[in-house]
Amino acid sequence: MFRSEYLTDVFRKLKKTFSYQKEYIQSVNSFFASIDNYISKDPRIEQLSIIERVVIPERIITFRIPWADDKGKVHVNIGYRVQYNSAVGPYKGGIRFHSSVNESIIKFLGFEQTLKNALTGLPLGGGKGGADFDPKGKSDLEIMRFCHSFMAELYRYIGPDVDVPAGDIGVGPREIGYLYGYYKKLTNEFTGAFTSKGINYGGSLGRKEATGYGLCYYTQQMLEHFENTNFKDKRVIISGSGNVSIYAAEKVTELGAVVIAMSDSDGYIHSKNGLDIEHIKMLKEDDRERISSYLEKYPDTVYEANSSNIWSVKCDIALPCATENELDIDGARKLVANNVIAVSEGANMPTTAAAINYFLENNILFGPCKAANAGGVATSAFEMSQNAIRLNWSFAEVDKKLHETMKNIFKLTMTTAEDLGYPKDLVSGANVAGFKRVYEAMIAQGLI
């Protein structure tokens, strides 16, 4: 299975125990494939069972969430918080509200978050949380009741030096406000126990833009280093139309590219002359509309009610920013056939293993999510710092720190890939670089 007998043995045991957790097993499998050739270089890894200690979370908290809808009907959802690894710093990772949320998804996200956070060079451990609750179609009061019930359980396990949640899919400014407000009420503390907060109550300028902007900064470094080019005059497709997608679109436009296609879960829009990003931002952020409503102002735009077909649009650069496993081998083949030069991940694990391998085999630049979308958590760390010193930095200051951080992450993943003998394999570079920081911290701290 793997060259390393140690990795093969660990993976077989994990797969036997957690065979029903497909996202978690997929994430671990991809990680093991990347570090396979590296494992033998440090005998302490096997001797001290580092792999088992890295892939198994320190703890998983599961709880019920009862809440009442506007008609008085009581519903019960399941909540999770995976506190994955604290060797480098306090647990850090978002909260996701979506009907698909289960333990497997939260574990895979927490595992990915641990390695991603390590790549930033900041003192951040890894964690993730969420619930199988879908905010769509719910009133503000229903969402508030749910958030308060969720926090009534979670508050016991988080804090600015313990575990610091943030937003994710289904958890935007509204939900963060309700969650943090109730946390503050329960603890009687105004601390930096949450990030992605509103600017009026301890949030950081530049946080909502950070993941999308950081994705573009990382991708720009890839283009410049490997292809001696940049975003200028490139045609870009971006899956999704949430926070990451919108601000990635905003930044690539600023960098001189043309965004020709975007999507949501219903379908995608395409215009060869480019999309009106400001209008999409208004539809999504202000009006909470579906992307198909874009046609009301721009009726000549092509719309297809199948979001997976966005990868058939001819482009130079593709940025998958929606959800896990959205870009499969069929999509990869279409992109390569249409002469894509770079693919960079804005979502968490949006590209299947087969698709990643296909891109690498065809010499396509590929920016892995652990590195390429780390700008959000890096800026969350900036928010934590501002909260700790009771100061606010300007947007320009935060953006400068973000840009520098993404350049450093690219340099780290690139040089690590070169040291491994695979100069353009940034997937392996990211996995090994993040893993090294985590396991060296674990070794230094003993059996934790």
Residue 284 has pLDDT above 90, yes or no: no
CATH number at residue 272: 3.40.50.720
Residue 232 domain-assigned (yes or no): yes
Task: Output the average pLDDT for the chain.
Answer: 96
Domain holding 311, by residue range, is: 208-372
Residue 433 or 284, more confident: 433
Residue 7's pLDDT band (boundaries 50, 70, 90)?
very high
In angstroms, rounded to a whole number, what is the distance separating the alpha carbons of residues 322 and 305?
Answer: 16
Instruction: State the pLDDT confidence band at 35, using cuts at 50, 70 and 90.
Output: very high
Bridge partners for 163 per DSSP: 91, 159
Whether 128 is catalytic = yes
Distance CA 347, CA 169 (A): 10
Mean pLDDT of 123-144: 97
Give domain status of residue 448, yes or no: no
Q: How far is CA 284 from CA 72, 276, 351, in A?
A: 30, 13, 24
Is pLDDT above 80 for 306?
yes
The verdict on 26 and 61 lying in the same domain is no
Query: Does one domain contain both 13 and 160?
Result: no
Residue 389 lies in a domain: no
Our count of domains for the chain comes to 3
**Coil vs helix vs strand at 109:** helix
Q: Is the pLDDT of residue 5 over 80?
A: yes
Percent of the chain with pLDDT strictly greater than 90:
96
Helix, strand, coil percentages (3-state) for the chain, rounded to 5, are 50, 15, 35
Closest C-alpha among 435, 418, 417, 434 to residue 426: 417
What does the block give as tokens for 51? 């792999």
Which among 343, 342, 347 has a CA at the least distance from the CA of 369?
Answer: 347
**pLDDT at residue number 207:** 96
Q: Are residues 271 and 128 in the same domain?
A: no
Secondary structure of residue 176 in the 3-state scheme: helix
Coil vs helix vs strand at 316: coil
Which of 372, 389, 413 terminates a domain? The answer is 372
Q: Are residues 279 and 333 in the same domain?
A: yes
Q: Each residue of 38-59: pLDDT tens digit?
A: 998 999 999 999 999 999 999 9
At which of 372, 388, 419 does a domain end?
Answer: 372
Same structural domain for residues 345 and 246?
Answer: yes
Give the count of beta carbons closer than 10 Å to the beta carbon of residue 158. Answer: 22
Tokens of 394: 């300007």
| 351: confidence class by pLDDT, cuts 50, 70, 90 | very high
Q: Which of 92, 116, 128, 424 is catalytic?
A: 128
Q: Are residues 19 and 75 in the same domain?
A: no
Residue 350 within a domain: yes
- Residue 285 is predicted with a pLDDT of 85
Tens-digit pLDDT profile for residues 204-263: 999 999 999 999 999 999 999 999 999 999 999 999 999 999 999 999 999 999 999 999
Mean pLDDT of 57-77: 98
pTM, to two decimals: 0.94
Whole-number Å distance between alpha carbons of 111 and 36: 17
Q: Is the pLDDT of residue 125 over 80?
A: yes
Residue 1: its pLDDT value, please?
86
Residues 220, 155, single domain; the answer is: no
Q: If you average pLDDT over residues 408-427, what whole number do you get? A: 96
pLDDT of 165 reads 98
The reply to whether 123 and 158 lie within a common domain is: yes
Is residue 448 predicted with pLDDT exceeding 80?
no
Are 300 and 364 found together in one domain? yes
